[in-house]
Amino acid sequence: MCSRLLPFGWLAVMGLDAVRFRSSLVPPRLQAIGTLLLLGSFYIFYLTFRENTYLSPAVRVQTERGQTVVNTGPYRCVRHPMYSGFILFALGTALLLGSWYGLLGGLILIGMVAWRAVQEERVLREELHGYSVYMRRVRYRFIPHVW
């Protein structure tokens, strides 16, 4: 329950910090970078949804739909492009709105997403045929040549 409420708390903190109390002084140049990160996240989301029709908020293999490993589009570079897009979204939103507290909250959410990705890969490795081979071929989870 708490993890479901955290994103809303994160948004509230950013709103109070950046708009109501104006306690963060984020330079306009960083806000512009936030805009670019946010736009980049939307493009990654688009590419990810276009390539993977099996996307689901629940970690499960959709055997009833004949789920297979997706290895085209952004999945050629990273195993979790949707989460990569989320990283850009969280950082970009906080910077664009001008909230250092929001940036801190975004980093916490990114940590939670990283933990989820590791758990998700355990399920996929065990239940989705060919995922282990895919993991050896595509080595990075979120950021090419980093992690």
What was the pLDDT predicted at 145?
76
* 143 domain residue, yes or no: no
C-alpha separations of 102 from 38, 75, 80, 86, 134 in Å? 14, 29, 23, 14, 35
* 9 domain residue, yes or no: yes
* 121 domain residue, yes or no: yes
pTM of the model: 0.82
* 146 domain residue, yes or no: no
The domain total for the chain is: 1
Spell out, as residue ranges, where the chain has pLDDT lower than 70.
1-23
What was the pLDDT predicted at 62?
75
* 52 domain residue, yes or no: yes
What was the pLDDT predicted at 111?
95
What was the pLDDT predicted at 42?
97
| CATH assignment of the domain containing 96 | 1.20.120.1630
Q: Which residues 6+ apart lie within 8 Å of 87 measured at CB? A: 41, 110, 113, 142, 143
* 142 domain residue, yes or no: no
- Which residue range forms the structural domain that includes residue 84? 2-137
What was the pLDDT predicted at 1?
43
